[in-house]
């Protein structure tokens, strides 16, 4: 099976690092973004799953979700919230 790619969009570096460490340890390729705007810039069709924070600077998770859906209607999206 090909390596799956997960995009993590989270402004808290500790949370982002923790999620990255756990998922990369399971063999996933991780792309990271510190805010919604950056996540949209690094998003690509090869991404299999997006994990995104709801409250982020520059672009919140709900807006980012809508913009990702415009590019890919079938990608899995998990929303994180404190």
Predicted local distance difference test score (pLDDT) of residue 21: 97
**Residue (of 46, 39, 28, 26) closest to 68 by Cα position:** 39
DSSP code at position 23: H
Give the angle 68-69-72 at the CA atoms, nearest 5°: 85
Q: What pLDDT does 82 receive?
A: 75
pTM over 0.85: yes
DSSP string, 55-81: S-SSS-HHHHHHHHHHH-SS-EEEEE-
Tell me the pLDDT tens digit for each residue of 17-57: 999 999 999 999 999 999 999 999 999 999 999 999 999 99
> CB within 8 A of 3, min separation 6: which ones?
27, 28, 29
- pLDDT the model gives residue 2: 65
Question: pLDDT tens digits, residue range 50-74?
Answer: 999 999 999 999 999 999 999 888 9
Residue 49's DSSP bridge partners are: 6, 76
């Amino acid at each position: 099976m090909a390596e799956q790619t997960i995009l993590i969009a989270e402004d808290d570096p500790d949370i982002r690092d923790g999620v990255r460490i756990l998922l990369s340890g399971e063999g996933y390729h991780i792309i990271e973004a510190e805010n919604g705007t950056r996540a949209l810039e690094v998003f690509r069709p090869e991404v299999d799953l997006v994990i995104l924070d709801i409250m982020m600077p520059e672009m919140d998770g709900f807006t980012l979700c809508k913009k990702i859906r415009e590019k890919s209607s079938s990608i899995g999206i998990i929303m994180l919230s404190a």
